[in-house]
Chains A and B, each alone.
Chain A
Amino acid sequence: MNQRPSFLLDGAEVPFEPGQTVMQAALAAGRYIPHLCYHPEFTPHGSCKLCTARVNGRLMAACTTPAGIATEVESETEELNDLRRTLVQMLFAEGNHFCPSCEKSGNCVLQALGYDLGVMTAGFRHLFPDRPVDASHPEILLDFNRCILCELCVRAAREVDGKHVFSLAGRGLGKHLIVNAESGRLVDTDVKVTDKAVEVCPVGVILRKRVGFATPIGARRYDQSPISAQALADAPRPLERNHD
């Protein structure tokens, strides 16, 4: 049998299967590349740009770059982590994020990335946009203030739930999340609290009502260990399954 194809990630060899992206191959090999809009269960689309890496010298989003074109990938460099910190600052500045009063605190991917990457300052003047909440649904609250436009809910609804509950409207800084109802209210959509789209929000936009503090702050996911450690646990690991 031929030797499996591979590329070098920060100097270490990462094997890959045909069709995999750099991100998929890296995670499967137990190597972490910071990411936000990537999720192993949905089609990658590369909008947050946190996973920007140097692929053969060129800056590309690791989550959408086919592993097949990569020979050498650099990710864990000061230059790239600096970029990632700035991108996280931009996302914080764009929305209204008040971690101390947010029920997602401790389970929030944006917050966890901020800690893990060492974001120490606000960095930008915050924009304080006006984004009304939608509490119309009896079981689900939408707090758009925290939306980072990662489109995970859009993709989860489309690819897993087979629905179109969430979508994007507007453009540029005016881009925003909408729901599939003429009234613009979640209660008028066909959303179910058991939908994948409801579960997948990395920040505190899509929240199940009445369970927000079931797990106390301090005992939450990223209170236990940093996101860089946990992301690997989430990733499918075909290599281990196929171990022989």
Chain B
Amino acid sequence: MARLARHSALCTGRTSSPPGRSHIVTQPDTPDELEPRVRRIISRWGHDPGALVQVLREVQEAFGYLPAPVLTLVARLLRIPYSRAKGVASFYSFLSDEPLGAYRVLFSDNITDRMAGSESLLQAMCYRLWAEPGKVSQDGLVSVARTSCTGMCDQGPALLVNGRAVPSLTSERVERICDLILARTPLDAWPAGFFVVHDNVRRADILLGHTLQPGEAIGAALQRGAAGWSEHAANERSWREAYVGAAQGPIAILEEIKRSNLRGRGGAGFTTGVKWEACRQATGLTRYVVCNADEGEPGTFKDRVLLTSHADLVFEGMTVAAYAIGASLGFLYLRGEYRYLLEPLEAILQRRRAANLLGNGICGQPGFDFDIRIHVGAGSYVCGEESALIESLEGKRGVPRNRPPYPVTNGYRQQPTIVNNVETLCAAALIAVRGGDWYRSLGTLKSSGTKILSVAGDVARPGLYEYPFGVTLRQVLEDCGAADTQAIQISGPSGICVDATEFGRRIAFEDLPTAGAFTVFDASRDMFDVAHNYAQFFAHESCGFCTPCRVGTSMLVASMDKIRAGNGTQHDVGEIDRLNKVLLMSAHCGLGHTACNPILDTLKRFRPAYERKLRSLDFTPAFDLDGALHRARKMTGRDDADAHLEAQP
């Protein structure tokens, strides 16, 4: 405990800190102070074991990390087994049961960060701070490590320091950050400019260019129900029959969403109206609306902008959905990387409650009770999968459930639940105002409306581009100022990689469906490195539940490492094929199924990038017999032909 107290001297903070405040204060925590503070956090969460992830996240913000005695305390107060607290704490990458530096620096490790020089910046920082990547410095001051894409691809390289995002890194900025860390400057006193995140909206359409006022979409949704009612009432013989029409209020907006043919923007493209209707019709004690803002797909950052500049529209969409399905509670699952958005978002929720846009009797409609809670993730890509997300909401390890049953019938706490993407809910709010037919008139036959693309990589103007569905890749490349483009990764590592022969293809569910990532690689890039980075990503993010993904993704990385080191043979390419097949056939969830996509796609389209690295296109044994004699040759001072097993190629 002495170690904990010493360590926490620099990294403790008030959990009630005002927006934007860092979590570094100076007074130390003695073990005596520890328990009351943990008690306070837990009582704010109502002693609910279901809030375990939130409790652990806040306790870590207060104490710097989660040592075993603290986990025991949390477990005791929540009345759960110690092993459950330990199991959850060790699942999420931002939670740590090992001491961390007083300053915890995490470099975003997406391929776009690497292309912009993140690795040399990381090395420079480690050199300057006497730190080793992935380890805490000797004096406990700092730890420097890598983390999966932090959603700043349009302004990378980026890092997180004690959970706060610092984008647009240059060697000067990194140098300055090192100075601040060495001087033990609290984050609050760092230049505010370091934390400025730009929206970079380059092309706005109906969504990014909307002019809706808070309450407008909810009002329109209620109006649709009421309009249906008066029409209905005029045609009925009695009030009692007309009342059935009034109860149809939510049905009217549901019908509108169905008519719009809106499909999920998270990538899978499930029809939103069908999902909502299934949830509405499912039997349960209560229903839930969940907004999936766990934007973990490397290369995408649209939800960051929507939550920064259009949060009202997001909450509006959730409230419309709640009205349509009859939910009284909603969750915004905010990825841990966007922790800095928590206070501004809470402030907006508070304002909406004050304006009667949340709470009881929303907009004066009796019985329309709905509120929204924010759940901050703690670093886990797989939690973007809806059933894993629900597990995480319930305070568990984020492992995807067995399906069926699906969340629409057995979701949060086994009640009917809809999980929708941030962008989907924004679109639903627009549809509530302007109608399904209007929405359907945009885009293509099977893909109505618009799609926001997160464009990054080798382009002159990275940022958000919103287009009606059906736009060609060529058009996007032209608009963002891409030159000499070799390939585009559509929808991130779990999506598809296309080469120059395919730039006439279109963004649409009928051709190239996407969750939004649009990462551009010019001719100077080695597509093997791209696939290698993505393979590492999947291995890092595998939840480890099923055998094929837990072992297979790591085996894939091992094979890619071997090829990269110049020791690969045709046999290793065959091995990759074999692993891909196993993952596709038997992985438990989409992460495992898609983990091999980047490698399959690049092998298909850029095979020479692999073959250039192989030692031999024919079979060569993995063990280099002649190489093993190298030391013996050196010791005997020989290097003639007889000292070699065979002539070197």
Contacts and interface: CB of A to CB of B under 8 A. Distances in A.
Contacts of B546: 46-49
A172 B382 CA distance: 11
Interface stretch (A12-20, A139-147, A173-181, A194-202): A173-181
A180 B542 contact: no
Given A179-B83, A180-B83, A171 B551 contact: no
Interface centre among A93, A168, A171, A180 (most CB of B within 10 A): A171
B541 interface: yes
B50 interface: no
Interface in B530-577: 539-548, 550-555, 558
A86 B585 CA distance: 12
A182 B69 contact: yes
Name the interface size band of chain B: 35 or more
Interface in A159-208: 164, 166-175, 178-182, 184
Given A171-B91, A172-B540, A59 B551 contact: no
Nearest to B81: A164
B593 to A, nearest CB: 10
A19 B201 CA distance: 52
B554 A178 contact: no
A107 interface: no
A83 B87 contact: no
A194 B84 CA distance: 23
B547 A90 contact: yes
B551 A173 contact: yes
A167 B84 contact: yes
Q: Is the interface of B mostly helix, strand, loop or mixed?
A: helix
Contact of B586 (A59, A167, A173): A59
Given A164-B84, A178-B87, A125 B558 contact: yes
Interface centre among B72, B553, B554 (most CB of A within 10 A): B554
Interface residues of A, number: 41
A179 B550 CA distance: 21
B554 A172 contact: yes
A69 interface: yes
A115 interface: no
B86 interface: yes
Nearest to A37: B547
Given A48-B546, A49-B586, A182-B71, A94 B83 contact: no
Nearest to B83: A167
A216 to B, nearest CB: 32
B585 A48 contact: no
A111 interface: no
A1 B91 CA distance: 51
A125 B71 CA distance: 37
Interface string A59-84: 10100101001000000000000010
Contact of B542 (A69, A90, A173): A173
Contacts of B81: 164, 167, 180
A149 B87 contact: no
B541 A49 contact: no
Contacts of B587: 49
A45 B399 CA distance: 11
Contacts of B578: 86
Contact of B547 (A49, A59, A124, A182): A49
A61 to B, nearest CB: 8
Nearest to B73: A182
A149 B544 contact: yes
A167 B90 CA distance: 12
Interface in B84-98: 84, 86-87, 90-91
A182 B548 contact: no
Contact of B544 (A49, A127, A172, A184): A172
Interface centre among B68, B548, B585 (most CB of A within 10 A): B585
A49 B588 contact: yes
B547 A168 contact: no
Nearest to B405: A66
A90 to B, nearest CB: 4
Counting from the closest, the 8 A-B pairs by CB-CB distance are A167-B83, A175-B544, A164-B81, A180-B83, A90-B551, A169-B90, A172-B542, A49-B586
Given A86-B582, A166-B83, 7 more contacts: A47-B546, A47-B588, A48-B546, A87-B547, A87-B582, A124-B555, A175-B545
Interface of B: 68-69, 71-72, 81-84, 86-87, 90-91, 380, 397, 402, 404, 539-548, 550-555, 558, 578, 581-582, 585-588
Interface of A: 45-50, 52, 59, 61, 64, 66, 69, 83, 86-87, 90-91, 93-94, 124-125, 127, 148-149, 164, 166-175, 178-182, 184
